[in-house]
Structures are given as C-alpha cells and as structure tokens.
Amino acid sequence: PKSKGSELRLQGCMRTKEQTVFLTDKNQLLPGGYLCMDANKDVRLQKCTEQDGPQTWTLPPQRNSEESMKIYNEALGVCLGVKGSRVRTVLCQEEDAQVWSIKTVAEYNVRI
C-alpha cells in the first residue's frame, strides 16, 4: 500500500520498485520511494518529516550479507520486526527483530 497511514505487510519478493526500500541521507526508509516508515504508532507509512525521531532508523553497517540483522529506531528504543505477515515494532531482544537481510542496490537504495 502506498497511502498515508497504511500498514506494511510482507509479500513474496518480485524485485519491483514497490518492494525496494529507499534510504534517505536522514536514515529514513521509504518503501517504494513514496512515504516514510514511521514507528510512532507501530509501523505505518507517513509523510516524511525532516526531523529525527520515529522515522529515523539505524541499519547495521554490515550489508550484503546472508546473515539476519536488526533495524533499530533509537528515538523509540524499538526494532523493526515481523508478527505474522505484518511489519511491526518489537523489542530488540525478541526473535521477531532479527529477521532482516539487507542488500545495497545502489546508493541510498536498499532491498530489505
């Protein structure tokens, strides 16, 4: 979904633009390049704000690895995780947080 307030769900990989997550220089994640992933009320798509906070994510420096990694939101102290097929915020020590494989596609474009 590309509309403001939409939840994010996992789907089979089709390697399309809609499934590419763009990374801004402010460490914001934009699935499909349109709206930012915002952790304020779980994980929803929202208009990007240029401020640090619920839209700022810390990705591990090690990328292009088959190893599963965590994506952290420092402002809220939570990680990006998965519950069922929904992308959610979870406590970072939970198993649901260690699920992301990150591939650099081009500068500022990552496939998660």
Query: 15-61, pLDDT tens digit by residue?
Result: 777 778 888 889 999 988 889 999 988 899 999 998 889 999 998 77
pTM reported for the whole predicted model: 0.80
The Cα 21–Cα 10 span in angstroms is 13
Cα dihedral sign, 23-50-46-1: negative
Whole-number mean pLDDT of the chain? 82
Task: Please say whether the beta carbons of 36 and 30 come within 8 A.
Answer: yes
